[in-house]
Amino acid sequence: MCAQEAYPKVLAQEGDGIYSLLRRHGVSPTKYYNDFVDMNSEELGEDESLILGRHYLLPDTLAKNVEVMEEDITYSIFGDDFKKVDAASDRLKNTVYYLISGHGGPDPGAVEKYHGKMIAEDEYAYDVTLRLARELISHGAEVHIIVQDPNDGIRDNRVLELDTDETVGSESIPLDQLERLKQRTKVVNDLYKKNSGKYQRLLVTHVDSRGEGTNIDVFFYHHEKSSNGKRLAESIHQTFFRKYKKFQPNRLYNGTFMERSSLYVVKNTLPAMAYIEIGNIRNKKDQRRILDPDNRQALAKWISEGILLDYESSKEAVAK
């Protein structure tokens, strides 16, 4: 193998994250993100962030021996800049994932003012959910995005504009909270029954809202009686713990995974599931994690790696 010095080096510019840097230099982020991180791990900041003015090695896309996957497909729901999804692997072949982003429609969730503009938790939960869906599809999964917005794909902006046009399937989202939860639960359960016999999991993504001074790490809930849900939540939690240890060695990761069967969706949906809170929208430190598009991408990437860990460990358990 060539020495690392033989790989091309590129400069991180203002506003660059790993995805934007790779795309600018014609390298597929879906296929080569992990290679880039491995090659440059000593030069990355918190949450796999790039450091302005630092040079980074680019993966050699010509030399890498990559298994030829099926032709890339486009998905309009991800928006023009992200609709093409490169096939990274088939590690999630024959799996089905249901993704729910919290709130939506007439319910924006918690709202907060940022630099004079209103921001809402449903928009950020939706963006992370789309990014997660894209990651899972790239590994061969069948993905159902339960809450959808017809004109908001993945957005590389800090401030995501509020709107109320999200739907569940073709149906508008009810104003009443219980009716909203029943609507998305019914859609998931109907799909689950249609896909009976397949490996199926549910991920629900929320942005927490607590007091302004409360800084939280990403944490996870699962149903108390679901061993598969517990393993899913624990697998993602372990992935976050390892990532923090690697990229933020001086900061203790305090995220948790725990039982929380009192939540309606946790209690009433059929697939094994993990319920994820990605931060407190009212806290300035958490806003940095939530508002930065590259941090949202890192969140989705880390969640997907935990999902891969969960699926592959479940196959090992069955084989024993």
Reported as a single tens digit per residue, the pLDDT across 187-208 is 999 999 999 999 999 999 998 7
- Bridge partners for 276 per DSSP: 205, 220
CA 109 from chain centre, in angstroms, equals: 19
Token code pair at residue 310: 């969960």
Mean pLDDT (the chain) is: 87
Angle at 252 between CA 247 and CA 257, to 5 degrees: 100
The pairing of strands 272-280 and 199-208 is parallel
Q: In angstroms, rounded to a whole number, what is the distance separating the alpha carbons of residues 44 and 42? A: 6
Token code pair at residue 267: 């209690």
**pLDDT at residue 73, rounded to an integer:** 81
What is the number of other CB atoms lying within 10 angstroms of the CB of residue 300?
Answer: 23
Q: In angstroms, rounded to a whole number, what is the distance separating the alpha carbons of residues 118 and 66? A: 44
Q: Which residue has the higher pLDDT, 65 or 100?
A: 100
State which H helix or E strand residue 120 sits in.
strand 117-120
**Ramachandran assignment for 26, one of left (phi > 0), alpha (psi -120 to 50 degrees), beta (any other):** left
User: Are the beta carbons of 233 and 195 closer than 8 angstroms?
Assistant: no
Q: In angstroms, rounded to a whole number, what is the distance separating the alpha carbons of residues 67 and 93? A: 15
Reported as a single tens digit per residue, the pLDDT across 234-280 is 999 999 888 877 777 776 666 666 778 789 999 999 999 999 998 88
Q: How confident is the model at residue 4 (pLDDT cuts 50, 70, 90)?
A: very low
The identity of residue 35, as a single letter, is: D
Where b means 16+ CB within 10 Å and e means fewer, 144-160 reads: bbbbbbeebbbbbebeb
Does the structure show a pLDDT above 60 at 305?
yes
**Ramachandran assignment for 200, one of left (phi > 0), alpha (psi -120 to 50 degrees), beta (any other):** beta
Among 19-33, 107-121, 270-284, 294-308, name the one with the lowest average pLDDT. Answer: 19-33
The identity of residue 121, as a single letter, is: E
